[in-house]
Structure formats: C-alpha cells, structure tokens
Amino acid sequence: MREIVFDTETTGFSFADGDRMVEIGCVEMINRVETGRTFHAYFHPERAMPPGAQAIHGLSDAFLADKPLFAHGVDDLLEFLGDSPLVAHNASFDFGFINGELARCGRSTIGLHRMVDTIVLARTRHPGAKHSLDALCTRYGIDRSHRTLHGALLDAQLLAQVYVELTGGRQIGLGLVSESIEVQASFAPAPTPATIRPARVFSASEAELLRHAAFMKKIVNPVWAIDSPD
C-alpha cells in the first residue's frame, strides 16, 4: 500500500485568519517502507512572516521572496500525492492549510477520509504519555540530533520512522513471512491417504515354547518358585 507522510510549515496557526503555508515536505512509503522518493517545496506566502513563526522554522521574508506561489506549484504537489492516504502529526492542522491553499486557487480539496493522524495513533498506543514528535522520537530511539529548527521535509522523514513504530515497528515484516508460507502451503500436493493394514498376531511356535521351558528349568531357586509365607 502506498502512503504519503508529510509535514507543513506556515506563517501561523489558522488559514482562516490569514495565515499561509510556506513549506511542504512529503515522503513516499510503500508497505510502511520508505522508497526514497520525496517531494519538497517552498512557497511565497504573499504576506509578511511573523517573528514568532520565523523563530520556529527559520524561514524569513528574504528567503521566501523568490519562491513560487502555491498556485504555481500545485500541479506537481497533487501529482506526487496521488490518491494515497496522507499521514501527518496533528493532521487536522496540516489538512486545514493544504485544503485552504487548494480552495484559494480553485482546486478540489482533499477528502478527510484520506487523513491518518499519528497523534491519534500515539494517544491510543501510549495513553497519558507525551505525544510531540520530539517525545515520540525519544521513545523509539530515533535520532533527531540534526533537527535544530522545524523543517517540513526533515520532520516528515522523522515522522515516517515514528509511524512505522506506531503501527508495529519492524515486526510488520513478519506478516510477509507468514503470508508467503500460506501461499506455498496452498499449492502443496494433498497428502497420500495412509494404508491401513490389519494388526499382526505374534505367537510363539511349539519349538519356541519348548526351548523356553528348558531355559526356565536351568534357573536355580527362581523367585516365582519360593512359597509365600503364611
């Protein structure tokens, strides 16, 4: 199954309040294994970057000044996404910005049935624990030492590793082994029915009985010949 793990960076918290998406990073996975294919793009937000947002992701007005508008890069993004399920951390936030940008440039929005939220998975698997991306990386021993600032592609790559752990970790591959065994067994020839033979009767011959009696007479003071005490 093909899935896309993605993350966005924005100018703030709400598209409805005028914030815009400035970066998106996507990682392709097939059967929960990264294929190496990614999509990464920056977009000009058509507004100033608030200092608080810049402190989180480091994307300044000067850096974004020559970047394309979302409408100019939307076709490449949609081609990469295809119709695959989309995995994100706090996915309603990222979906809100993607769908806001799509609607703004007259494109169809992405159905929420495609949304997979890793926060929901984390809360189910680890109730009461911390569920931030940093906390989950720590829990699963995923190296994030190179993450000094938020970055859409880097965070998507980290999230892809977290997603694998949340959905079974390396044990996912064990299912492939069992499936292959079942397939091989289904093509195995039926066993040949066992041949039922009549039971053999073993009895001593007359000569064998005579030899046995002669042997028994040679035994001195046999136990079975001693009289039992009264």
pLDDT at 95: 98
Beta bridge partners of 88: 117
Q: How far is CA 33 from CA 90, 107, 161, 193, 206, in A?
A: 21, 30, 9, 45, 78
How far apart CA 35 and CA 64 sit, in angstroms, is 29
Share of the chain above pLDDT 70, in %: 82
Kindly tell me if the per-residue pLDDT of 117 is higher than 50: yes
Residues marked as catalytic: 150
Three-class SS state of 190: coil
pLDDT at 183: 30
User: What ranges in the chain are assigned the alpha helix state H?
Assistant: 51-57, 61-64, 70-81, 91-104, 118-125, 133-140, 152-166, 174-186, 206-217
Superfamily, domain 2-172: Ribonuclease H-like superfamily/Ribonuclease H (3.30.420.10)
Q: What is the mean pLDDT of the chain?
A: 86
Q: Mean per-residue pLDDT for 137-156?
A: 88
pLDDT at 229: 54
pLDDT at 133: 94
| Predicted confidence band of residue 96 (pLDDT cuts 50, 70, 90) | very high
Decide which of 125 and 210 is more confident.
Answer: 125
Q: Mean per-residue pLDDT for 87-114?
A: 97
Three-class SS state of 189: coil
How far apart CA 75 and CA 86 sit, in angstroms, is 17
pLDDT at 195: 56
Q: How far is CA 37 from CA 4, 28, 153, in A?
A: 10, 6, 12
Q: Mean per-residue pLDDT for 40-69?
A: 97
pLDDT at 212: 76
Kindly tell me if the per-residue pLDDT of 160 is higher than 70: yes
Kindly tell me if the per-residue pLDDT of 131 is higher than 80: yes
| Predicted confidence band of residue 226 (pLDDT cuts 50, 70, 90) | low
Share of the chain above pLDDT 90, in %: 69
DSSP-assigned states of every residue in 75-106: HHHHHHHTT--EEETTHHHHHHHHHHHHHHTT
How far apart CA 16 and CA 74 sit, in angstroms, is 20
Can you give the pTM of this predicted structure? 0.73
pLDDT at 180: 33
| Predicted confidence band of residue 215 (pLDDT cuts 50, 70, 90) | confident
